[in-house]
Structures are given as structure tokens and as C-alpha cells.
Structure 1
Amino acid sequence: MDVRRRAGASGQPDTHSGSEGPSEGRLRPTVESSETQSVGDGAMTDGRTDKCSDCVGESEAMCDVRSGNTSNVDESTAARSENTPNEGAGGTADSPNPTSRSAQSDAHRGPFVAALDVGTTSVRCVVLDRRLEVRGVCRRPVQLLYPVPEHVEIDPDQLFEAVCEVIKGAVADAGLTLQQVTTMGISTQRSSFTTWSRDTGRCYHNVVCWSDRRASGLVKAWNASLMFRVPAHVCWLLHKVTGNPRFQAVSVLRLMNAQVTMRLLWCMQNIPVLREDIGRGRALFGTLETFLLYRLTAGRLHVSDRTNAAATGFFDPYLMQWSGYPRFLFGVAPPSMLPEVVSTTYDFGSTAPEVLGAPLKIGCVIGDQSASLFGAECWQRGDVAVTLGTGSFMDVNTGDRPHTSVRGFYPAVAWELGEEVVFMAEGAAGDTAASVLWGRRIGLYDAVEDTAALAESVPDAGGVRFVPAFSGIAAPVNDFKAAAGFIGISAESSRAHLTRAILQAIAFRLRQLYDSMRAECAFPLRHIRVSGGVARNDALCQMAADVLGVRLERPRDVETSVRGVAMLAGLAAGVWRDRSELEPLRQTERVFEPDPSRGAALRAEMAEWERALQRFGEWYPDDVK
């Protein structure tokens, strides 16, 4: 039996309301909800707005996040809000933060660091003390907007309002004032962007999310064009002559929607006032960290840090500067609209006093996956951080030089701290949480928390294989025409077999990434530390350890992006002298040791799963994403 599905489980709902197209002003699209949109920030919430009465004057309890753990909400609570935009398999706890209450009476635990984490579906701020213990938390949902099919947006004004609310709310929840917070670090989702007027500060359009697919036609056309293919062939020849791996990497390069390049080009082509102001040098561009810094400093700063710039598609991580190639080839991103690129721990100064009511020093700005790598304390070359959230991200510390890949891994900047510049290679497998949530939606289980016990109730998947390709299959397969679905279902197949097949598929994709990383890296891969909301699934983590044949460490706090940005901001501000003071603060909640016999059995099942992957490959005439 072969069941294939192309449902909108890649972050997009199956239907969209509203028909508003691009305009010269701000877009005001219809709002739609999607259950998969709640997973990208590691924790899946139950759809409630986490009110902090100290900052918004509401009568509700202060931010109900306990000890920084935002991934333990009861699944039945989530199920009650099936149609809310923040629905999923985890979320906030149901009691106020007990630790934060004590901050009012033991201020000697300072200095305090604020960590602002801007995710796809929520914005949160966490105040931590010198021991990295949570003192206060505030969280707000982010409403994703779907004005027309394939468009995924965020209202920039609402986003900035939420950012200001959570900063003030977390500080109040800690029983502190802004003046008592030493510094703040900012971690953001990457590749989401907007543009705005240099004169008025007003945005020309909503934030275009990283998951937006409006530029699919441009991506397809450019990937097939001679202007794009000829340079690739030239680079292939240059690689044959010189042996330079950079030429080989360019020869296999392909454009994708996840990169900013084509989505920005779409905006330039379809929003006349933006195009006109770019010609006059009056338009500014920024990914989320740039936009937020501009607003937080009342227009003083128009900068991007290198970890976020490296994810745009038009930044050269080898030269550490904006690349002129996309501008020459596509006519996109002229220098007049691009921000200055600075270090992760650049001297950003403080927020404008009128924005938050008092100035707050900004000590660090960093992309979310880079923050997770640092927060997992993957500080040595070969250390590996795996984040299981909306997708599965495998980030490898590659030391002091960018990694050149021919298998689809992205060379990125990990962080900059003083004179130290660290790079990472990133591989991503999409649809991790989307697959788990889809399984619940079709009735395989009532609660996502049930998946571990259900999967472990059978010794294997009973011949059932699942291909998690709602948005195609990324590296190292790189087949964006693949279909998603089950194969191998028999009359004896049960819900447990299908559930186990879903979890196995996630583990198998990790094995593909790991094998390809090992083949490309000229150094051994070391510690593997796992984080993210889906990492709370013990059965999945054990399967991953078994099929990889390596031990996996899961920290007590799986929200490592918050921890990482707080560490970097604190190091830059002198809260900690160096990383040696941070090492004793890492707490491992559980270690998953590989079992050789289970690993051998899983690898045999993986061989069959790879056959299923071939069967489902190249299914659609066009890229899914």
C-alpha cells in the first residue's frame, strides 16, 4: 500500500483566505492559523497569550513559564485550542515562575542578563542570573499571516510591540528594573526580512517569513536559466583545473526559497514604491535583527551581525562581506539599502530611553542556530549540536574557517567573540514537528506525548516506512519534488507501527546528515548534544543514538538558543570573565547511550526506508518548496 500526501503540513495551511496582493503601502492580510507554526521555537504552546501582569496591567498571573522550561504543557490543553495559531505539543507550564519571585529578595545573585529570543511563532524574553538560573520570563505569541497562497508574513509593528512587552515583562517578572539588568542579548530566526523607508521608518511590506514561498516561480526560472547555469559550469571546469573546493561548491549551488535573495527580488518587482525608493537610495533592508535594532535604537543603528547576514544568500562567508555577485546577476540588494555587517558582540550601545522607558545595553545579536550551538557549549571544532524543532538542524563547529560542501550543507558564521571567529556547517531536515503533528491530526494518537510509549510498544515498524517530505527532502538528498507518505502498510499494521515509522524517519534523516558531515569534514565529529522541543521525546532520542551509533547528551534546559545568547552577551559585558566560568554551569539531564544490537536492527530498517525514499522521489513536476 502506497499512501502519498502533499498536504500543507510544511507550515502552510491547506486553504488560505484573503486575496490581497502586493501594494505600495503596508499589507493588511487576513489572519489564518496553522498547527505546525507553533513548533519552530522549540516549545509548542497551547495557544494562550502568556500575560505578564506587571507589564501589561492585566489581571492574569505573571508569565506562566516555570524555570525557563517552556515545553511541558499538557497535550490535552493544546488539543482544546486546535485552531489557534500557537497549538502544538508542549508549551508553557501552568504556574508562575517560582524562581523569579525570589529574585526580589536575593539581588546578590546578580548581575542579571536578559535574553530576547524572536522565533517564528513566539517572542520571549528570559532574565537569568550569573548562575544561568531563570529569574523572570515573559512570552507573547507571534501571529503568522497568510494573505494569499504561499505568502507567510508577520506584521512588523505588532512584532516590535511584542518585543518591547516581553522585555519589560521579563524584567518585571524577575522583580527588577531595567537599570538592574547588565546587558541584553538578541537571538532571532534567520532569513525573515522586511524593508522600510529611510525617511519615515515605515515598512513597505510585512515581514516576509523564512517559510514564505512567493518566489517559487523566480526560483524555478533562475535555476533553469543560462545566466545561472553557465557560471556553474565554468566553476565546475575551474574546479577540475585548480582543485579548489570553493569552485566545486559553486558548481552545485542552487537557489531556494529559504534564501532571502529571490524573495527580496520578488518584493522589488511587485511593490512599486519600494522599487522607486531603492532607485533614490531611500529604502533600507534588514533581516529581523536589523529591523529590531533599528527600532530599539530609534534609527541610530542599521547593522546586521554576520551570523544572520550569512544566511541571506548574498553574504560571502569566505570574505566576510556582502557579495557583489547577486547584485550583478539578479539586480538585488544594492549597497545603499544594505546594513553594515558587524560582529556578534559588537558595541551596539543601548536602546533609546523612550523605547522601553530606560536605556538597556545590547551586548550580543546572533542567529538562532548559532546561539543554540554556543548554548550547547559546542565550543571545539567537531562538536555537534542537533536541534529538533520545526525541522532537524545539525550544526557542526568547523573552527576558524568556513566549510565548503558539495552535499548541500551551508557554510555559516557561528559566532564572534573578541578576536575569535568561529564557523559552522549546517544541514537541515525539514518537517520534523510537522510530521509528528500531522500524525496526531490524522488520528494516530490523541496527544504528541503519547508517541514515545506508542512507538516503544512494538519492537519495530512492522515493515511500514514513512517519508517526511511535506516540503521535499533537503541535504544530502536535495530532492524538493519528493512526496510525503507511508509505504509498506499491511493488514497487520497498527497505529503503533505507523507512529514508530514517523519517529524512525526523523532519526534516519539525522543519520543521513551525520554520515554526509563525516564524509566531508577533515576532522572527527565529537560531542553530539540535542535540544529543541521535539528533543523531549525519549524514544526518538534513543532511536537517534542507536542508529547513529554515538551517545547523545540532552541538557536539562533544551532551550539552548536562550542560554547561548545570554552567555555571549554576558561574556561581552564582563558578567563572566571567560568560558571557564560557564563550563561548570552546564547540566545534562540525560545521556542516551547507543545499543549495538538495536542500532544494527535500525540500520537494516533504514536500508528499506531509503528504498521508500527513492520510490517517493521526483514525484511532483515542480519543487514542493
Structure 2
Amino acid sequence: MTGPVLAVDQGTSGTKALVICPERGVIGSGSAPVNPRYGTGGSVETDPEALLSSVLDAGRQALADAGEPVAAVGLANQGETVLAWDPATGRPLTDAIVWQDRRSEPICAELAPHADDLTRLTGLPLDPYFAAPKMAWIRRELTRAGVVTTSDAWLVHRLTGAFVTDAATAGRTQLLDLDRVAWSSEALAVYGLAGERLPEVVDADGQVGITTAFGPATPLSGLLVDQQAALLAQSVTEPGVAKCTYGTGAFLLAQTGSRPRRTTTGLVSCVAWRLGGRTSYCLDGQVYTAASAVRWLTDLGVISGAADLDPVGSAVPDSGGVTFVPALAGLAAPWWRGDLRGSLTGLGLDTGPGQLVRALCEGIAAQVVELAEAAATDLGAPLTGLRVDGGLTRSTLLMQTQADLLQLPVEVSALPDVTALGVGAVARMGLDPELTAEQAVPAWKPSAVYEPRISATEAAERLAGFRREVAALLDRTPAVDRTPAADR
């Protein structure tokens, strides 16, 4: 039995840290904010030193709260956020380009003839969401110096001196061969990154180095990208069940087992984790704006925050015919149209905050339904349930809307901060090779289960209204022609 571990989840808008004891559960916690900067032209950036400071601050808070030492540290990361940095000094050479940043769209347009080959190799569609287009953009627009990597490699280097990334995070770059779980020379050449020094791809549960950043020398023995850490923490280790995390965006993942399943529906096929040299795979779908759409309504003064969703939305019986497609940062899977803008239709003089809130909840939930149905198609069998986590799961209105439109039970995690719990489990496995994932992860016990309260017919009608508005958006905004001018 290993002792307590420190699990750190470095996220888009903040870092959370937990001290987790295998016998007593969470015995300490800490958090620190991160403030991405949203600029013109689709830019989203963060000061890398602020990311590191948030990791140190949150981790030290959690340790102080626990009041006892830990046996290991685990680190979860944002996935597709990248930066250039000096490997000799660890000094950042650029800001961190956040996963939401869209400035590499011209590079994706230029590489369109290679799109099918890249997807076949890596499992990922050609889109600025992933790390490789951002890495190529940094090299073209900002600097050729140093190394360019995902943010986890830089954080681990600053903590331990190691130069590594876990297999699941590497799988978010569009530079990893999905079948071999190794860097793809072909993909690197397509992106003009063939000469780059890249971090070693390691297991999630490997001891990668020693850190003294949190006090006494402690092994860093767990690394995993955030959404896959949440998948593990929710015990989604077999096909049939999916999980969805409602954070800045919403992210649905479904386990596919020991072999990659190429998607036919527009989802992402990627590494779930590599533990003890054995790789598991998953299907992944994204909604770009969930909590960020709630923040948008808040900034407009419609509500005062996420806590208002239930009281404001429940004050009216329905959306009053209002349909909200909250594509405020574009549409991700299965459409992959980051250039789209959101739409709000069906407004009338009787439209008030309650109708807008209900329409937003339906818009978020409807996108998740699209992802769940796509996953079921790729798996060849319907999903049996959805396990959910994240801040927005506190909204009864959103969760009931999700169950109604999905026509499946929605199980809300009883444990907060599941991403940290997942990477904490991996850190324990890194200390004890005999420990299995099932043993390391707390038994799944939902705090609430939402069952559908409307008929399948009514759910289909409401989804059809949402899909009509998405179709109208697609019609009004033709896809950018990514064919190079010389080939037109």
C-alpha cells in the first residue's frame, strides 16, 4: 500500500491539486487561477510562468492543508496547449498558445491535401485545435529557437529536469503514429517539424524524475492528459459507457479497448493511456464552449454566474421557442467548423433570461448528444449510460436536459476534481507496479442519476430543431476552400 500522493490538474482556467490517501480519500486540496488572454484573430494565450506558478501554488496549498508528506506527485495537463522554450535553461521563448487558439488555420488550409493521410496516421482530423498546427505556427511566426512542445513537457522539465511527455498527451499533437504509439516521421515532415527535438514518449505510470518543488525530494510518477485522466477516474475502462466532462468546453470520451478504432463519424481516435507498456484507446469528441458560454451570458448581464442557471432557467417552463447554437468558438466534432459563429433564433418580445438559459442548456446538451450518437455508431452498439463530471454538473437543469435529450441515464460523479483523482491513481501505479487501474481508482458511486423525463419522440423533436439551426449555420457559412490556389 502506497502512502498519500499529490495530484495536480493544470487546466485552462486554473490549477487544482489534491492530496489523496488510498485509505482516507482526499485529505488536502488547493487551487490557483489561470487567466488566458483572448485576443483578436482567434488568439488565446497564457503566460507560461503563470502556469508553473499555479502548479506550485495549488500543490503547496494542498500539502499544507493535508499536513503530511506524500510519496509521489502526479500531473495532468491541458493537452493541446504549446510553447517554445530553451531546454538548457527552461526559460520560455513564447507565451503558451492555448488549445482554443485558431491562428494556425492558414497552416491547416495549406496542408489540406495531406488531411486524409494525417488522420489515417494519427487518428486526428486536420484542425487548429490540435498541437501540431500551433507548433508549426510558432516556428513560422514567432521563433526557430529552442524546442517547441506541449505544455506538460515544459512543466515536467521545470519540475524534474526530464524531457518527456506521456503517450496520451503525445497523441493530441497529430504527430504520433496511433498504431505504433511513437512519433511519426511522416507527420513531422508534413508539418515542417522533421528536425525538431521532441520529448520521449513515456507510460503514464512511469517514474520520470524527482522534484523538490513541493518540499522533500519526491518522485514524479504519474503523467496523463486531463480528459483521459477523467476517463480513468470514472472507471470507464471497458467499451459501452462514455464519460463527459463539462468544463471550459465539454469533452466526451468512450473507451474502445486495446486496439484503435478508426472513426467514421468525425470523432477523434486517440490513445486513452499507456500503463505498464500496454496501450488503451478511446474515441473523443469536443464541444468548444460549455462553461465559457455560461461566462458569455454572465458577461452580458443575463445571469450573474453558473449558480444562476437553475433558479433563472427553472422560472420558465421551456425555452419559449428559442434555439441557441453556442458555437461561440466554432463547432468541433463531428462538424469541425471552427470558423462558424453561434446563433440565437426564435427571439420575441416575451423572451427573457429564463428562456435564454434554457436554450443554452439545450444547446450544450444537444452537442453532447451528437457526440454520444457518433460514438455509438463507431462502436457498433448503443451506449448504455453517460458518466459526467465538471463544474456545470452542479446544474440540475443542465443535467436533466442532458438526460432528456440523450434518452439515457446521466450519472454525476460523487467525487469532485476527477481529473486530479485520475492522475493521482496513475501516480500510485507508478510507485507500485503490481497495482491495477481498477484497484487504484476509487469505486464508481454517482452522487445523482438523472433519468429521462420526456418521451423519445419529444427528445427527437427538440434535437431536430437544434439540428435545423446548425444546418442553417452551415449553409450561411460555406467551408473555407482549403485547396491550394495552384490546384484550383
TM surpasses 0.5: yes
Alignment-mate amino acid for residue 616 of structure 1: L
Alignment-mate amino acid for residue 305 of structure 1: D
1:580 Cα deviation (Å)? 5.0
**Does the 8 Å CA contact 1:482/1:619 hold for their aligned counterparts?**
no
2:42 counterpart SS class: coil
2-structure distance, mates of 1:516, 1:388: 18
Unpaired stretches in structure 1, ≥5 consecutive residues: 1-108, 236-245, 278-282
1:322 Cα deviation (Å)? 0.7
Alignment-mate amino acid for residue 263 of structure 1: K
What per-residue deviation string (whole Å, max 9, x for no partner) do you get for residues 428-450 of structure 1? 11211222222233333344322
1:228 Cα deviation (Å)? 3.2
Structure 1, 407-416 or 577-586: larger mean CA deviation: 577-586
Match of 1:510 among 363, 368, 373: 368
1:329 Cα deviation (Å)? 2.1
Match of 1:318 among 179, 200, 206: 179
2:4 is matched with which residue?
112
Higher strand share: 2
**Does the 8 Å CA contact 1:483/1:619 hold for their aligned counterparts?**
no
In structure 2, the CA distance between the partners of 1:147 and 1:438, relative to structure 1 (3 Å rule), is: closer
The two structures have a TM-score, normalised by structure 2, of 0.90
1:471 is matched with which residue?
329
1:602 counterpart = 2:488: no
What per-residue deviation string (whole Å, max 9, x for no partner) do you get for residues 141-161 of structure 1? 223245765332222233323
Alignment-mate amino acid for residue 399 of structure 1: G
1-structure distance, mates of 2:54, 2:295: 27
1:590 Cα deviation (Å)? 0.5
Alignment-mate amino acid for residue 14 of structure 2: S
1:242 is matched with which residue?
none
2:81 is matched with which residue?
192
Alignment-mate amino acid for residue 545 of structure 1: A
1:285 counterpart SS class: strand
What per-residue deviation string (whole Å, max 9, x for no partner) do you get for residues 488-547 of structure 1? 223443332222111111111111111111111134534420001111111111111121
Alignment-mate amino acid for residue 154 of structure 1: T
In structure 2, the CA distance between the partners of 1:582 and 1:358, relative to structure 1 (3 Å rule), is: closer
1:539 is matched with which residue?
397
Alignment-mate amino acid for residue 35 of structure 2: Q
What per-residue deviation string (whole Å, max 9, x for no partner) do you get for residues 86-140 of structure 1? xxxxxxxxxxxxxxxxxxxxxxx98211101111121232111113622112222
5 Å-filtered alignment, 1:30-429, equals 111-131=3-23, 133-145=25-37, 149-176=41-68, 180-223=69-112, 227-228=113-114, 232=116, 254-271=125-142, 274-275=143-144, 277=145, 283-297=146-160, 299=161, 301-334=162-195, 336-351=196-211, 353=212, 355-429=213-287
**Does the 8 Å CA contact 1:458/1:497 hold for their aligned counterparts?**
yes
Percent identity over paired residues: 27
Alignment-mate amino acid for residue 432 of structure 1: A
In structure 2, the CA distance between the partners of 1:401 and 1:575, relative to structure 1 (3 Å rule), is: closer
**Does the 8 Å CA contact 2:122/2:171 hold for their aligned counterparts?**
no
Unpaired stretches in structure 2, ≥5 consecutive residues: 481-488
**Does the 8 Å CA contact 1:373/1:395 hold for their aligned counterparts?**
yes
**Does the 8 Å CA contact 2:177/2:183 hold for their aligned counterparts?**
yes
In structure 2, the CA distance between the partners of 1:544 and 1:584, relative to structure 1 (3 Å rule), is: same
1:422 counterpart SS class: strand
1-structure distance, mates of 2:279, 2:100: 29
In structure 2, the CA distance between the partners of 1:498 and 1:450, relative to structure 1 (3 Å rule), is: same
2:210 counterpart SS class: coil
2-structure distance, mates of 1:584, 1:259: 31
2-structure distance, mates of 1:163, 1:134: 18
2:71 counterpart SS class: strand
**Does the 8 Å CA contact 2:12/2:248 hold for their aligned counterparts?**
no
**Does the 8 Å CA contact 1:111/1:575 hold for their aligned counterparts?**
no
Alignment-mate amino acid for residue 173 of structure 1: D
1-structure distance, mates of 2:19, 2:121: 43
What per-residue deviation string (whole Å, max 9, x for no partner) do you get for residues 170-209 of structure 1? 2122112xxx311111111111122222333322212221
2-structure distance, mates of 1:450, 1:579: 38
2:485 is matched with which residue?
none
1:389 Cα deviation (Å)? 1.2
What per-residue deviation string (whole Å, max 9, x for no partner) do you get for residues 547-595 of structure 1? 1111111122232101111112113323984455456643321011123
What per-residue deviation string (whole Å, max 9, x for no partner) do you get for residues 276-321 of structure 1? x4xxxxx323212211111111x3x111110100001111111211
**Does the 8 Å CA contact 1:286/1:304 hold for their aligned counterparts?**
no
1:252 Cα deviation (Å)? 11
In structure 2, the CA distance between the partners of 1:437 and 1:168, relative to structure 1 (3 Å rule), is: closer
**Does the 8 Å CA contact 1:481/1:618 hold for their aligned counterparts?**
no
1:372 Cα deviation (Å)? 0.3
1-structure distance, mates of 2:81, 2:441: 33
2-structure distance, mates of 1:515, 1:162: 37
From the CA coordinates, give the structure whose radius of gyration is larger.
1
Alignment-mate amino acid for residue 174 of structure 1: A
RMSD: 2.7
1:221 Cα deviation (Å)? 3.3
2-structure distance, mates of 1:288, 1:251: 20
1:479 Cα deviation (Å)? 3.1
2-structure distance, mates of 1:251, 1:154: 27
In structure 2, the CA distance between the partners of 1:143 and 1:468, relative to structure 1 (3 Å rule), is: closer
